[in-house]
């Protein structure tokens, strides 16, 4: 009877141990699947954190531009503008009151400067750079167009007159107190 009981016990134990091994294998497989899912989630979280950091840096840069008292970032200025210039004052030979010129300006921001590329027939003829602040837009020619002996200074001041309209003046100062002033009207294309 003890032998039968021992055999029965061994038989029940071996049957139970087979079930335990299957359960253990199943648990190990589940654990590996969970670890794999956890690794995928960690990789996604890292990617999202990197994107969030990049966006935060961009927002901080834009925020610092928009709060800088010397420079305001105004996205509505970006784009092409049709420019009409009418001579209102001159003391230079070769120019007359009422002369009218037309250009297209491509206005953009480059680093911390407002840049206007003046174009005639799709060719850049002059590049102005400056800033936009609470008082308006101030631009100057970034590279003098004349040789060093013939100093020419071109300065522009503009004010917003509507969502798609700017007005102001362009002053060209040359040697010997020669000066030409143009009234400017810009309309966004």
Encode 158-177: b = buried (16+ Cβ within 10 Å), e = exposed: bebeeeeebbbbbebebeee
**Per-residue model confidence (pLDDT) at position 148:** 58
Mean pLDDT across the chain = 84
Query: Does residue 147 carry a pLDDT above 70?
Result: no
pLDDT score at 19: 65
pTM of the model: 0.59
- pLDDT for the residue 151: 75
- Strand locations in 18-94 (E): 79-90
Q: Is the dihedral of CA 155, 113, 160, 85 positive or negative?
A: positive
Least trusted range by pLDDT, from 29-43, 140-154, 158-172: 140-154
Please report, for residues 110, 165, 187, the alpha-carbon distance to residue 81 in angstroms, rounded to integers and kept in the order given.
17, 9, 5
Tokens read off for 143: 């590279």
Q: Whole-angstrom distance between the N-terminal and C-terminal Cα of the chain?
A: 105
Does the pLDDT of residue 69 top 50, yes or no?
Answer: no
More confidently predicted of 56 and 128: 128
- Nearest Cα neighbor of 76 from 165, 142, 158 is 165
């Amino acid at each position: 009877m003890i032998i039968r009981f021992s055999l029965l016990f061994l038989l029940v134990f071996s049957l139970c141990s087979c079930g335990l091994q299957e359960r253990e294998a199943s648990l190990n497989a589940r654990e590996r699947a969970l670890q794999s899912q956890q690794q995928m989630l960690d990789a996604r979280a890292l990617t999202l954190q990197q994107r969030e950091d990049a966006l935060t840096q961009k927002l901080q840069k834009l925020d610092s531009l928009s709060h800088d008292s010397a420079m305001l970032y105004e996205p509505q200025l970006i784009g092409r503008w049709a420019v009409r210039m009418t001579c209102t004052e001159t003391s230079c030979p070769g120019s007359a009151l009422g002369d009218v010129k037309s250009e297209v300006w491509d206005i953009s921001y480059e680093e911390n400067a407002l840049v206007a590329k003046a174009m005639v027939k799709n060719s850049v003829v002059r590049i102005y750079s400056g800033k936009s602040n609470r008082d308006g837009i101030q631009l100057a020619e970034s590279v003098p167009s004349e040789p060093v002996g013939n100093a020419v200074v071109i300065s522009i001041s503009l004010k917003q007159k509507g969502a798609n309209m700017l007005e102001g003046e362009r002053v060209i100062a040359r040697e010997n107190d020669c000066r030409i002033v143009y009234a400017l009207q810009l309309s966004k294309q």
